Amino acid sequence: FAGGLPGGLDNPLGARALYLYRGGRDTYYRIHGTNNASTIGRATSAGCIRLFNQDILDLYSRVELGSAVKVRTPEESLAMEGRMVEGPTGLMVRFDSLSPEIQQQINNGIQPWPPFVAVSGVSGTNSIGSTEALE
């Protein structure tokens, strides 16, 4: 969208975008704001990391080109946070925070709501390859 959609409130990348590079090449993954705050914390992207606009504005002001970015693998996240599932509102919740009845349904293959689908391809150490102010 960088070359074709002007910045502003209608831009899906929100107020700022940090472009993740690996080995000097664009991964096509971004850390960015959003024009739809209700999508934060939901499994609705193609792999980008979406933040509230005030958070990407803060992060953008503090990172430099070449800053290392560690994106965890699903296995690393599981080890650090425990099993996560998409809750009834679409937000990710800890599996052990759900009622035993819901846990049993999920363990029996019955999904009370759509499952979270992890996107692979950007885990590991990346770097900020370029930045964009989208105002």
pLDDT tens-digit readout, 32-58: 998 888 888 776 777 788 998 899 999
12 and 61 inside one domain: yes
Q: What is the mean pLDDT of residues 116-123?
A: 48
Can you give the residue range of the structural domain that contains 92? 72-110
User: In the annotation, is 34 catalytic?
Assistant: no
For residues 75, 119, 45, 103, the Cα torsion angle rounded to the nearest 10 degrees is: -50
State the pLDDT at residue 126. Answer: 53
In this structure, is residue 101 part of a structural domain?
yes
The residue annotated as part of the active site, out of 16, 30, 32, 50, is 32
- Under the banding of pLDDT at 50, 70 and 90, the label for residue 19 is very high
- Per the annotation, the verdict on 32 as an active-site residue is yes
Residues 26 and 60 placed together within one structural domain of the fold: yes
CA distance 53 to 119: 23
Q: Of 48, 84, 85, 98, which residue is the catalytic one?
A: 48
